[in-house]
Structure 1
Amino acid sequence: MTKAIIFREAGGPSVMRWEDVTLGKPGPGEVRVKHNAIGLNYIDTYFRSGLYPSPLPASPGMEAAGIIEELGDGVTGFAVGDRVAYAGRPIGAYSEERNLPADILIKIPDSIDDQTAAAMMLQGMTVEYLLQRTFHVKPGDTILFHAAAGGVGLLACQWAKKVGATIIGTVGSEEKAKLAKEHGCDHVINYRTENFVKQVRDITDGKGVPVVYDGVGKDTFEGSLDCLQSRGLMVSYGNASGPVSGFDLGILAAKGSLYVTRPSLMDYTASRSELEQSAADVIKMVETGALKITVNQTYHMSEAVKAHEDLEGRKTTGSTIFTL
C-alpha cells in the first residue's frame, strides 16, 4: 500500500483526502517513481474543482521529482535509481509513489536538488514556451506580466530580464511588489490600488505593449487588451480568477487588430524532442544561476487542503512544494 491525495467528486479543497491506495506493477512503457518532492500549481485546482473534467476518483498534481524504483517492459534510456522529474499529464502527482509513462520523465543532474526540481519543471517550462515560442521576447521589448509575484511570474521576470526586456508586472500587495522587484521586474503595479491600464500606457508613453501574459483570467482580460499596441498579442495562459467567457471577437478589430492565444504546456511539449529541449533550457538557466527557484511555501502532502486554500486565497508567493 502507498498513500495519495484522492478526490471522488469535484469541488472545493475539502473534497481531497489523504488515503491508502494500491499500486500495481508498472505496465509496458511505464516506470514506478518514488516521489521526494511534489510541485503545487494552479492548474491542480482546475482539475479538483471540475473546471478541467477528469474521470473520478482522481488524484491531482502534474509535477514532481523522485527516484525510479522499477521499470516496465520496453522502457529504455532509464535505469532503477535514476533521479527524475516531470511536468504534465496524466495527473496524479499528489502521491508517495506512482506508475507513469517513461516518456514524460527528464533526468535531473546532481547539481539540482529534489525540491528545486519539483518546483521548476511545470512553471519553468511554461515560462520557456511563453517567452521563447508563444511570443519571442527580444532585447528592448517591454512586456506586461500579470501576477508577477507568483511562481510563474517570478521566473518570467528573471528570464525576461536575462533576455534584456523591460518587465511591467502586476501584483496584489506591497509585499508582492517588493518580491517582484527583487526578481527583475522593472515597473510594478498594484492592481488593487492602481489602474493598471493607465499605468501601462503612462510607462510606454501611450504606445502600449506588444504582448501581455495573463494567467489571472476574467478579472484582467479586458483591461489587458487595452494595454496592447496595435496588432499586439494577448497570451491568456491561465484563469486564477475564473475563465473568460462570452467573448466577442469583434472587440479585437476595434482595439487594433489584436491577436489572442490560449496556450498550454502540453501542446508545447507534445513531442519528446520539444520536451527535452524545453527542459534542457530550464535546467541550464537554473544551473547557471540565471533562474533562481524561490520556494516560499512547503506543506506535507497530507496538508493538500490547506495548501489549496492558501493558493486560491492569494496567500502564496513564488513556488510551493509538498514534502513526504
Structure 2
Amino acid sequence: MATRVVVRRTGGPEVMETESFEPTRPGPGEVLLRQRAVGLNFIDCYFRTGLYPTPLPFTPGFEGCGIIEAVGEGVDLKVGQRVAYGTGPIGAYTDMRVMPAAPLVPVPDAIPDEVACAMMLKGMTARYLLRRTFRVEAGQTILIHAAAGGVGLIVCQWAKHLGATVIGTVSTDEKAELAKAHGCDHPIVYSREDFVARVKELTDGKGVDVVYDSVGKDTFLKSLDCLKRLGMMVTFGQSSGKVEPFDTGLLAQKGSLFLTRPTLFSYVAERQDLLETAKDLTDVVASGAVKIQVEQKYPLADAAAAHRDLEARKTTGATVLIP
C-alpha cells in the first residue's frame, strides 16, 4: 500500500488528510514513480484554498524526485532511473504515483534527491524569469520581492552570476542576511523601510530594469514606481492576494512600462523547452554558481504544518516533504 495527501474540500491547511491506496500499473506513456522527496510551493496553497480551482478530491503538489519502478509502453526512461519534475501534473503529495513520463527529467548523480526535488519548480521558474521573460544581462539592476524565499534565493544567485546588481525585499533582518549571503547586493527590510524610496536612492533616481514580483496585491503598484522608463514589471505570483484591476494608462504615465503575467507551464509546454530549461538549471547548480538551500523538512503526513509555516512566512529557501 502507498500513502497520499487528499483534499476533499477547499480551505485552510486542516482540509488536507492522508489516506492509503493501491497504485495502479502505468499505462502507455506513463511511469510508476517511488518518490524520495516532494516539493512544497505556494502554488500548492492556491489550489488548496480554491484560488486556483481544480476538481475535488485531489492530491496537491507539482514537484518531486524519485526512482522509476515500472514503465508503460512508449516510454524511453528506464526502471531504476532517478528523475525529477517540477510542472506536475498535480498529485505530488504521495510516496508512490503513476504519472506521465513527459514532465520527467533525468537527475545528475552530483545532485542529491532533496536538492533535485527542491530546485525543479523554483529553479525552472528562476530560469524563465531571468533568461526568457526578461533576459538579464551584466550591468542591469533588478528588484526581486521575497528575496529570501525559495525562488528569491535562486534568482539572487543566478542574477548575480549573470553580472546584474540585485536589490531584494525581505521581512526581517535575518532574512536580509540570508538574501545577502546568496547574492543580493541590497536587501531592503520592507517592514521598516519604504522600498520605493530605497530603490530610487540605490539607482540614483533612475529605477530598475525589471521587477520580479510574486507577492501581488500588497506590492504591485509600488513596484511600478521602482521601474525605469521602458522597464518591465513581471508579476508571477500573488502570495498577498490578487492584483486589483487598474487602468492600463498608468503604465504609460509611469514611463511606457511593460507588464507581463507569465507562468512556468507556458515556458515548458514543449518537451524540448523543458529539457533545455532543466539543463540550464542543473548546469548552474552542479557548477556551484547557484546553491539550493533546503532549509525545512517535514514528514509528508505533516503537510498541514508545512502549509501553515509557509503561509505565515516562517520558512526560508526551499522546503521539502519526505514520504
Whether the TM-score (by the shorter chain) exceeds 0.5 is: yes
Distance in 2, matches of 1:253 and 1:166, equals 26
CA deviation after TM superposition for structure 1 residue 97, in Å: 0.8
Deviating 4+ runs (over 2 angstroms) = none
Alignment root-mean-square deviation, CA? 0.7
2:10 is matched with: 10
2:44 is matched with: 44
Distance in 2, matches of 1:185 and 1:150, equals 12
What amino acid sits opposite 2:280 in the alignment?
A: D
Equivalent positions of 1:37-116 (< 5 A) are 37-76=37-76, 78-116=77-115
What amino acid sits opposite 1:10 in the alignment?
A: T
Distance in 2, matches of 1:278 and 1:302, equals 31
CA deviation after TM superposition for structure 1 residue 22, in Å: 3.1
* Cα deviation code 1:193-223 (max 9, x no counterpart): 0000000001000000110000111000000
Q: Which moved more, 1:232-241 or 1:21-30?
A: 21-30
What amino acid sits opposite 1:102 in the alignment?
A: A
2:144 is matched with: 145
Indicate whether 1:35 and 2:35 are aligned: yes
1:258 is matched with: 257
2:120 is matched with: 121
Equivalent positions of 1:148-187 (< 5 A) are 148-187=147-186
Indicate whether 1:201 and 2:200 are aligned: yes
SS of the equivalent of 1:260 reads strand
* Cα deviation code 1:115-171 (max 9, x no counterpart): 110101111100011000000000000100000000000011100110010000000
What amino acid sits opposite 2:314 in the alignment?
A: K
What amino acid sits opposite 2:18 in the alignment?
A: W
CA deviation after TM superposition for structure 1 residue 72, in Å: 1.2
Indicate whether 1:287 and 2:260 are aligned: no
CA deviation after TM superposition for structure 1 residue 89, in Å: 2.7
Distance in 2, matches of 1:149 and 1:309, equals 18
What amino acid sits opposite 2:75 in the alignment?
A: V
Distance in 1, matches of 2:62 and 2:83, equals 14
* Cα deviation code 1:236-273 (max 9, x no counterpart): 00011111122221111111111110000000101111
Distance in 2, matches of 1:67 and 1:245, equals 43
What amino acid sits opposite 2:52 in the alignment?
A: Y
Identity of aligned residues (%): 57
What amino acid sits opposite 1:42 in the alignment?
A: F
What amino acid sits opposite 1:40 in the alignment?
A: L
CA deviation after TM superposition for structure 1 residue 312, in Å: 0.2
Distance in 2, matches of 1:193 and 1:182, equals 21
* Cα deviation code 1:77-107 (max 9, x no counterpart): x110000000113100000110111010001
User: What is the number of equivalent residue pairs in this alignment?
Assistant: 323
What amino acid sits opposite 1:68 in the alignment?
A: I
Distance in 1, matches of 2:27 and 2:47, equals 25
Indicate whether 1:268 and 2:301 are aligned: no
Indicate whether 1:318 and 2:317 are aligned: yes
Segments of 5+ residues of structure 2 without an aligned counterpart are none
What amino acid sits opposite 1:97 in the alignment?
A: M
Distance in 2, matches of 1:26 and 1:204, equals 55
Distance in 2, matches of 1:66 and 1:41, equals 18
Distance in 1, matches of 2:4 and 2:246, equals 39
* Cα deviation code 1:48-82 (max 9, x no counterpart): 11111111100110000000001112212x11000
SS of the equivalent of 1:197 reads helix
2:187 is matched with: 188
CA deviation after TM superposition for structure 1 residue 23, in Å: 2.0
CA deviation after TM superposition for structure 1 residue 293, in Å: 0.6
What amino acid sits opposite 1:28 in the alignment?
A: P
Distance in 2, matches of 1:111 and 1:302, equals 29
* Cα deviation code 1:272-306 (max 9, x no counterpart): 11000000011011111111010110000000000
1:24 is matched with: 24
CA deviation after TM superposition for structure 1 residue 21, in Å: 2.3
